[in-house]
Structure 1
Amino acid sequence: MTARPPRLFTIPASAPFLPVLADALLEGRLIEGFAPREDPFALAATTIFLPTRRAGRLLAEVLRARVEVAGRPAGVTLLPRIVPLGDVDEDALAFAESFADPPRAVKPTTRRLALAGLVKAWRAKLRDGDGRIAVAAGPGAEIGLADALAHLIDEMAAQEVPWERLDTLVPGEHDAYWDMALDFLKIAGTAWPAHLAERGEVDASIRRDRLIAAEAERLLNGGAAGPVIAAGSTGSMPATARLLAAVAHLPRGCVVLPGLDTDLDEASWRALTDEAAPAPSHPQYGLALLLARHMRASRTQVEILAPPAAHGRERLLSEALRPVATTQAWADIEARLGTPAIDASLAGVTLIEAEDSREEALAIAVALREVLEEPARTAALITPDRDLARRVAAELLRFDIAIDDSAGEPLSESAPGRFARLVADACVDELAPLPLAALLRHALARFGLERAELAAAVDALEMMVLRGPRPAPGAEGLVAAVASFSPAQHHPSDPRARIGEDTRARAGDLAARVAGALGPLLALGTGVHPFGALVEAHRRAIAAAWSELDAGAPQDETALAVLAQAFDDLAAAARDAPAMTLGDYASALVLLLGDRPVRPPLVPDARLRILGPLEARLVSVDRVVLAGLVEQSWPAAVRTDPWLSRPMRAALGLEAPERRIGLSAHDFAQGCGAPELILSQARKLGGAPTVPSRFLQRLAAVSGTARWQAALARGDRWRRLAARIDAEPKAPRLPRPEPAPPLDLRPKRLSVTEIETWLRDPYTIYARHVLKLAPLDALDEAPGAGERGSAIHAALGTFALAFPEGLPADPEAALLAHGRRAFAPLEAFPAAHALWWARFERLVPRVIAWEQARRPGTRRIFAEVYGRLELPGGRFSLTGRADRIEQLRDGGLAIVDFKTGAVPTARQTKVHYSPQLPLEAAMAAAGSFRDVPAEEAAALTYVKLATAGLKETSAVDENDTAAGSAMATLERLGQLVAAFENPARGYASLARPMFRGRFGDYDHLARVKEWATSGEGEE
């Protein structure tokens, strides 16, 4: 049987592969004497091998359409048996009827975790001289090494390299790391198959090859009842190549190769598989190897099923991608191909050279969108860059277009996958506000509540305990924080001061539900636990947090099924997985869920598609966009094997890493056959310059400068259209906001510290007192300089109140005691507390030294005293709380203000832009502070608190007095009050800011960044 010459065909890249295949099959051009177009049952006896299951579904649709066009009523056609050869869509092949009792394939998750356990055990034994682990640690590194090991296992199985060949590698000839890796591989090569044998399993790659071998044997032994066709595969794996050879030699069999290069000169073709210097990076290397080694056939025996398209781009691509050793032939390419032929090849080629990935994605989206303007036209984006593909899909949503994406998205990035990760992250962080808020706001979160009820409860919980300082960790801390919440603890202007009983009850109920749902998983937050216990607790937490109320959301049904299967697989793999902490489990979850795609259902009549390079071989459309054409993307970077060095791989007989470049080159050449071809690259990615793909550079070299510039000019059209989408019409310059509310709404009382704000930024006063807006604390807001300053002020204030007339016997100990009470609320933030408390301890002796120097001239000290002053006419009240007022023995008062930040200058005080101390002095002179004698101020002093020492700064100019400054400032306040009693006077934003670049709590409301950059200057 094998003496029969192989029956071989090819379909050019510019011809529609599946339609040509279907027509050739139905018309009897593939199998002699077999023309099933008129026989409704003839196809049922046919077997067709295709690379992927998705390609099989598309071929079925094409065959069904062809038969219906021929006049046969729909529904009476029996389709052929279409079998996927297994690649990206399948884990194993489906030849059960041809292989009795095949061994089970180990599940990918089980293998991944079991190999990670082996790697972890190996790591634990590798320590350097200092006892440090010599290989990267952590679940991410271990799973990454396990994936690389699994890939090596599959590669050795596919290329039929026995593990015993590792013994031929001589230790000591390589770097120490490679010797350590080799020792581990020798153990793993024996232990891993033995472990699987005990379970009655084998690696999926080995099972696949055994199934392929069994099918090939069945076919060679006459097991095929009808015609057998293998199409679209390049036979890159030896087992697949043998199956293709068996099919090609069958009496009623044939093989259809994708895009065989029939234009390359014979010398260059033979050089591809030259044993002395093969060319694995060439796009035709795999097909040349298949024909020479397995088919024992030449290119002349391959029949072309359809003529190439009129543009003749195959010849130009053959020249562009020819072997490096023969590129000297480019010198006379114009003479050999002919100028008209090259012009025709490039007439339909467009090059988009975008500035960055954002512009590239938008330009591609516009190019795809244009196709829909004409009925029945189709287009596809082909790229290995999944980030770019997702960007394009997102940009198409601008036009309400949902593109058919064959690759889907990783489970870890789907809505259910993100929800599962959020549950784990929230428990790892012990219900810290940020991850907890993200979990509660997720669309799938329910905790047994209706959506509206949950939203109201989340709002309440966020306002009460998640904003501002973090509550105590864990479920108990969350419940306790809600229970201890009191509106009275907050300033009347704070929204939390107005929270009612119903809102508090709602937050308490949600906190209890969160504690109940996540409690079992939270309990595993310390120590190392069996993997199965982590998976089970995580699954229960997800079930409790995610109610069935929303389980049927149509957009998530597929992802929910994939997530359920993922957890089943994780549970099944638990006995082989290493024990780990909850934190390690949460970190590994991204990887464990990220390798599972969530693919949308096939849309046979979709007019726009996103295709992977492999799948795109068999799909034909009117316009193709080959995108992401930069080095490191297409082709992908040649990855370094962490287990075997390049010399070690060569010694074992494994293929060179450049083989993947050859596969990428073949994918590129296949994609270039479309009638309309758009090539796309970004000049920068992530802010770094890129290098154009070598395939793009080669095509540019054979095209000539003028033709390439013409293609680039055509691409600029898409860039210009993309730019116009985001272009904004020129808008008039925005004016500085200056709202003028009615007089009865304007504030009648302000504090002394707010007067400076009133002078510098009246809009803040408007927003705070007229609109009654108070800024919210950020989620999980860590204490900053304000909290540190408040703690220091509280410590100094309570110390002065406790000892108003004299210092205690041990003043430093007393001040430290007051400081501990003042800093106690900051203990929830250990790092900040430790730093700030240490600084306070260094500050204490300097404060006491300062106190000891001042006390002799002081009769009594009044600290943290509140006062209120009615201005003449009773139309405005001034309030304030003074840090410290000293009654001096020589008469008069000293107004002291402690500063942990910037200290105002005497000049700023004199021009009334920092009026706090003069106004406090005016209030004191009027007897506005309780228990403080009504005396004029003799001194206005700022005290800068620094660990290097305390520095006193007078707020009074040398040509002025404290009392005079107080009276002048009070008079200026009266003028300010009178000015704002004018209904036409507005509250301008940033009227006189001290620092032009500063950002205030209400600047976003005043749209400062818009009007401030429009050319308007300050007043």
Structure 2
Amino acid sequence: MNLFTIAPHTPFLPCLVDAVMDGRLLSGWDRAGPFWLSDVTIILPTRRAQDELAEAFARHPAFGGLLPDMRTFGGEVKDEEPFLPPFDTEPDPKPASALRRRLVLSELVAAWAKTEEGREAFSTPPTAAEIFSMAESLGRLIDDLHIEERSAADIRALGAEMALELGNYWQQTLKFLDIALEAWPVMLARLDMADPAALRRRRLDRQAKAAPFLFSDRPVIAAGSTGSIPATARLLKTIAGLLRGAVVLPGLDRTMSPAMLASFTDPDNNPHGHPQYGLAQLLNSFGAELGQVRELCAAEHPRTRLINLALAPTGQTALWPEQRFSPASLDAALDGVSIIRARNEDEEARALALAARDALDSDQCVGIVTPDSNLARRIAAELKRFDIVVDDAAGTPLYHAPAGRLARQLLNLVQNNCAAVDLLALLRNRATTLGLARGAVVALADDIDLGLLRGQRPAPGIAGIRAMLAAHLGGKLKYPARTLSPQRGEEIAVLLARLETALAPLFALMAERALPASALAGALGQAMAAVGPGTPLPGRPEFEAWVADMQGLNGEGHRFAPRGLEDVLAALMTGIEVRHAGLEERRNDIAIWGQLEARLMSPDVLILGALNEDKWPATADPGPWLSRGMRLAAGLEPPERQQGLAAHDFAQAMGNGRIILAYAERVGSSPALASRLIQRLDAFVGEGMAAQLRARGDVWTGQARRLDAVPRVVPARRPAPNPPIGERPRKLSVTEIETLMRSPYDLYAKHVLRLKPLDALGEDPDARERGTIIHAIFARFVFEERDPAAPEALTRLMEIATEEFAGLEAIGERRDIWLRRFATAAEQFLDYERGRSGLVEKRHAEISGRWELKLAEPFAITGQADRVDLLKNGTLEILDFKTGSPPSSASMKAFEAPQLPVEAMMALNAGLKNIQPADTSALTYIKIGLGPDAFKPSAFATADGMSVMAVAEEVFRRVQLHIEHFLFHQTALPARLLPLKGQRFAGAYDHLARVDEWTAVDGEDEA
């Protein structure tokens, strides 16, 4: 057998080219003619390696212009068929698409979930998205069976072999698997189809059988494969046994002892996660000894030995004290190695981008390897800062690509019945044109936002938006943020009509009780075509191909109710990637690779990102259908096998001359650990060298932190504008009086700048709105002069409440809950009013007022009092119904709660409509709620036994001083002059005043 290996520290493909060109791999093949190289066949694991090998041949000084015949293992059919002479064999069945299998298996999963065994297996009935996801995982199990050449019989046998060991759940799972694994092949046979994994195995076996006839005595070289697939291992064995066949293994550790090599074939040692496990299994399948494998490029490097020792099996780590390197040898082995320890993923991506840019500036090529697609996108985005466009080999999942994002926005809009946020999100998507100019759609979206949605609550659906538009144009809309002309209204109506037509297929789906996945795809395809006809959109070709595939599977799969469709879409689009094609500005000296693409690459600088535990290597997840022990018992590889491949990729990469390893200490919002591979390296080299490696990486994290930093942070100062006196207000409401005392800046923003806060788009009704409605209910009851003691009082109060809450039909469930809760508040209100009937002469509700003050200049205080009751003793009681908390006792005693005292002064000075001037004997807060303190009066706290009117006069004296000081003089108007302690909400103008910046500097924490 002609077996070779290339050590990790040797660039794989250049070494392979050298060995071909000088004849070491050709077993004496004549190289005299001009076309000899074209007679050589080289088989590689990936197309990227094939492309790089062609470049390596082109760079070789002895290359004459004709490339060898280069192929890939198990690649595209067109690449494999040249292996196969016209043997007398039946044609292969057609491959069954992953999408077809997912849909068909989803029916089986859904049917099982409804059985008694299925109901016991699931704590709650699975959603449609969960069913499709489980179908996908079931498909992966079927692929595992094909790849590792096992069958349903091996799974079925588990029930008998492990009957006493398996719990009830696993027994039920095996019963289902028995059904699914039998039903799927029957269906494939009926359709004359086969799983791609089965076809791939069949092609590899045909290649192995054909190889002696096809190549005869010509050179054929299989390079870079670990033979992790049994069929590939058989092909490698066949090639190694040919006259001029050769197999070149990547990174076999030829220093392993026979005992260590034997341990990799003992499953009881759990060796599956070791980087040499796969190669050891391959040699075992060849029946070859370690000594039969020759080093193709014999140069040695201490780093390869160091990595092999650091990643040794657990039992070998006891020998580390004897195997550690001297300081000089350690420095030589790790020269060119750096470790970036970033605080988070964002910093990791920025640091890696800076390291890559530095290498490119030095005319070095860069390879970035990461299993984390999110980190890859972050790095690509950071590189764009420097006008470096990088090719990410993995692409972007269709679900997250712009086309998938538009599809999700359409689904959300329909599922939420044209909610304001979803409507504006769709209209602001750059791909949305609805057959109009994009600029026109943007302008109309702004008008819909400000003219119809801000501060409003339209009824559901497009009809609700139309009704809002009609109300606006008819002058019936309260306080729109923007006034629309009739012509603009017509243009909006046209836009809404087009949108309604585009959404019609999806709205039709929402009316169905159950629908197939093909119907969802078809409706989405129609809606996408209508929303953005002809608009270039990344991912649109892939989306349209997905729709076509789904339409070709019309009616297949689990039928589901139209709920949670966004998650269903994610499950149905699993595995579809959008490649980054057409990037003419991208460079060819930098790329982002997955682990598979990077296995044989040797760039000048190799960067490994996301070296965090559970990312590299990934979690050993056996899937939902078989436990780890069950997989082993069935003859399948355990999930740790993938960890072994990831460890081998790491060991291979560590042979690169200059390498940067990176991990984050936090992933998302959670702490994260460095990969066990880095932990092993740290443990072997010792704390001193581990710190030195990170010190090298700190260069990049330091630059990353400085990149967006500023040399000196100048905090914002407390704003204190000083507008001309003539621009300051000459009228304030009673609620604005407190604002004047606490934050004059807010009055500047409101009255001088005339800035009105916009309500949040699609804001849900909150306690404030509920309180406004309750105030209106109680006011109407008083307006009607109803007797609280009358038998029909409660009935009438609930009738009023039903009418007032009717405006919340857009949130029907919450409205009904509020209405039911109000029934209790209504009874408490009537009980309270009955208890004080003997004191009250007449009740007045929602009393508007205006009080002209006699100051240096004309000034008015306006407002509306919740309740002013004329008592039988001739005095007044002013009541304030609060759904929130009343002012604190301390603020009342400090004259910092001016509203009710000012209302008392207004009443005394004939400032309240229909209220005869009189003294106020009581200022009372009434808490509205359902707790024990509901409708218990809370008297205004006065200082030192002062009377209510004395307090009112003192408050008014202070109010006059504030008015004269801030509004009648050229005095600055500072923000948060007297902040309200314990305030849990931001003020309307806090963001404008940049409060969070300067309050932190001033040491204030009550914002």
TM-based fold match above 0.5: yes
**Cross-structure match for 2:730:** 748
Q: 1:709 to 1:897 in 2, by over 3 A?
A: closer
**Cross-structure match for 1:671:** 653
406-415 vs 431-440, greater mean Cα deviation: 431-440
1:355 to 343, 346, 361: 343
1:190 to 163, 182, 185: 182
**Cross-structure match for 1:110:** 100
Size of the aligned set, in residue pairs, is: 991
Q: What secondary structure is seen at the aligned counterpart in 1 of 2:865?
A: strand
Q: What's the RMSD between the two structures over aligned residues?
A: 3.0
**Cross-structure match for 2:572:** 592
Q: What secondary structure is seen at the aligned counterpart in 2 of 1:447?
A: coil
Letter of the structure 2 residue corresponding to residue 343 of structure 1: D
Q: Does 1:765 align with 2:747?
A: yes
Q: Distance in 1 between matches of 2:682 and 2:516?
A: 57
Q: Distance in 1 between matches of 2:194 and 2:289?
A: 37
1:24-57 deviation digits (Å, cap 9, x = unpaired): 3344332245577983x55544433221222223
Q: What secondary structure is seen at the aligned counterpart in 1 of 2:723?
A: coil
| CA-CA distance at 1:686 after TM superposition | 3.8
**Cross-structure match for 2:496:** 511
**Cross-structure match for 2:7:** 12
1:846-880 deviation digits (Å, cap 9, x = unpaired): 22233234444444333223222222265212211
Q: Distance in 1 between matches of 2:745 and 2:77?
A: 65
Q: Distance in 2 between matches of 1:134 and 1:892?
A: 66
Q: Distance in 2 between matches of 1:652 and 1:959?
A: 87
| CA-CA distance at 1:574 after TM superposition | 3.4
Q: Does 1:877 align with 2:860?
A: yes
Q: 1:424 to 1:201 in 2, by over 3 A?
A: same
Q: Is the 8 A contact 1:805 1:859 kept in 2?
A: no
Q: Does 1:265 align with 2:261?
A: no
Letter of the structure 2 residue corresponding to residue 25 of structure 1: V
Q: Does 1:179 align with 2:167?
A: no
**Cross-structure match for 1:564:** 544
Q: What secondary structure is seen at the aligned counterpart in 1 of 2:660?
A: strand
Letter of the structure 2 residue corresponding to residue 292 of structure 1: N
Q: Is the 8 A contact 1:92 1:208 kept in 2?
A: no
**Cross-structure match for 2:133:** 144
Q: Does 1:368 align with 2:368?
A: no
2:717 to 735, 741, 765: 735
1:935-974 deviation digits (Å, cap 9, x = unpaired): 4434433333334442223337374444444444444333
2:531 to 545, 566, 576: 545
Q: Distance in 2 between matches of 1:327 and 1:885?
A: 85
Letter of the structure 2 residue corresponding to residue 641 of structure 1: G
1:725-760 deviation digits (Å, cap 9, x = unpaired): 243333345321111111222111111111111111
Q: Distance in 1 between matches of 2:526 and 2:188?
A: 30
**Cross-structure match for 1:240:** 232
**Cross-structure match for 2:912:** 929
| CA-CA distance at 1:507 after TM superposition | 3.2
**Cross-structure match for 1:647:** 629
Letter of the structure 1 residue corresponding to residue 492 of structure 2: A
Q: Does 1:123 align with 2:110?
A: no
| CA-CA distance at 1:911 after TM superposition | 4.5
106-115 vs 316-325, greater mean Cα deviation: 316-325
| CA-CA distance at 1:198 after TM superposition | 0.7
- Spell out the pairing of 1:159-174 with structure 2 (5 A cutoff): 159-171=148-160, 172-173=163-164, 174=166
Unaligned segments of structure 1, at least 5 residues:
1-5
Q: Does 1:31 align with 2:26?
A: yes
**Cross-structure match for 1:202:** 194
Q: Distance in 1 between matches of 2:476 and 2:765?
A: 17
Q: Is the 8 A contact 2:516 2:556 kept in 1?
A: no
2:310 to 309, 320, 328: 320
**Cross-structure match for 1:3:** none
| CA-CA distance at 1:524 after TM superposition | 1.4
2:974 to 976, 981, 988: 988
Q: Does 1:478 align with 2:465?
A: yes
Letter of the structure 1 residue corresponding to residue 277 of structure 2: Y
**Cross-structure match for 1:405:** 392
Q: Does 1:790 align with 2:772?
A: yes
Letter of the structure 2 residue corresponding to residue 928 of structure 1: G
Q: Report the identity percentage.
A: 37
**Cross-structure match for 1:380:** 367
1004-1013 vs 610-619, greater mean Cα deviation: 610-619
**Cross-structure match for 2:57:** 63
| CA-CA distance at 1:490 after TM superposition | 5.9
Q: What secondary structure is seen at the aligned counterpart in 2 of 1:988?
A: coil
Q: 1:235 to 1:97 in 2, by over 3 A?
A: closer
Q: Does 1:940 align with 2:932?
A: no
Q: What secondary structure is seen at the aligned counterpart in 2 of 1:398?
A: helix
| CA-CA distance at 1:786 after TM superposition | 1.0
Q: Distance in 2 between matches of 1:973 and 1:168?
A: 89
Q: Distance in 2 between matches of 1:677 and 1:567?
A: 43
| CA-CA distance at 1:236 after TM superposition | 0.8
Q: Is the 8 A contact 2:828 2:935 kept in 1?
A: yes
| CA-CA distance at 1:97 after TM superposition | 7.3
Q: Is the 8 A contact 2:83 2:214 kept in 1?
A: no
Q: 1:919 to 1:690 in 2, by over 3 A?
A: closer
Q: Is the 8 A contact 2:901 2:955 kept in 1?
A: yes
Letter of the structure 2 residue corresponding to residue 461 of structure 1: I
**Cross-structure match for 1:904:** 887
Q: Is the 8 A contact 2:83 2:211 kept in 1?
A: no
Q: Does 1:919 align with 2:909?
A: no
Q: 1:980 to 1:684 in 2, by over 3 A?
A: closer
- Spell out the pairing of 1:593-672 with structure 2 (5 A cutoff): 593-601=573-581, 606-672=588-654
Q: 1:887 to 1:655 in 2, by over 3 A?
A: closer
| CA-CA distance at 1:1012 after TM superposition | 0.7
Q: 1:37 to 1:15 in 2, by over 3 A?
A: farther
Letter of the structure 2 residue corresponding to residue 162 of structure 1: S
Q: What secondary structure is seen at the aligned counterpart in 1 of 2:866?
A: strand
673-682 vs 452-461, greater mean Cα deviation: 673-682
Q: 1:358 to 1:504 in 2, by over 3 A?
A: same
**Cross-structure match for 2:963:** 977
- Spell out the pairing of 1:218-367 with structure 2 (5 A cutoff): 218-222=210-214, 227-274=219-266, 279-294=271-286, 296-308=287-299, 311-334=301-324, 340-367=328-355
Q: Distance in 1 between matches of 2:498 and 2:915?
A: 53
Q: Distance in 1 between matches of 2:909 and 2:330?
A: 96
Letter of the structure 2 residue corresponding to residue 904 of structure 1: P
Q: What secondary structure is seen at the aligned counterpart in 1 of 2:858?
A: coil
Letter of the structure 1 residue corresponding to residue 245 of structure 2: G
1:871-923 deviation digits (Å, cap 9, x = unpaired): 22652122112222233343243333222222236764565422222322333
Q: 1:209 to 1:7 in 2, by over 3 A?
A: same
107-116 vs 967-976, greater mean Cα deviation: 967-976
Q: Distance in 2 between matches of 1:852 and 1:1009?
A: 48
Q: What secondary structure is seen at the aligned counterpart in 2 of 1:380?
A: strand
Q: Is the 8 A contact 2:342 2:665 kept in 1?
A: yes
1:447 to 421, 426, 434: 434
Q: Does 1:418 align with 2:405?
A: yes
Q: Is the 8 A contact 1:925 1:935 kept in 2?
A: yes
Q: Is the 8 A contact 2:788 2:834 kept in 1?
A: no
| CA-CA distance at 1:102 after TM superposition | 1.9
1:73-126 deviation digits (Å, cap 9, x = unpaired): xxxx45444332247xx6996427737622111011111121122111111113
Q: Is the 8 A contact 1:752 1:878 kept in 2?
A: yes
Q: Is the 8 A contact 2:729 2:967 kept in 1?
A: no
Letter of the structure 1 residue corresponding to residue 974 of structure 2: A
Letter of the structure 2 residue corresponding to residue 547 of structure 1: P
Letter of the structure 2 residue corresponding to residue 501 of structure 1: P
1:225-246 deviation digits (Å, cap 9, x = unpaired): 9543222111111111111222
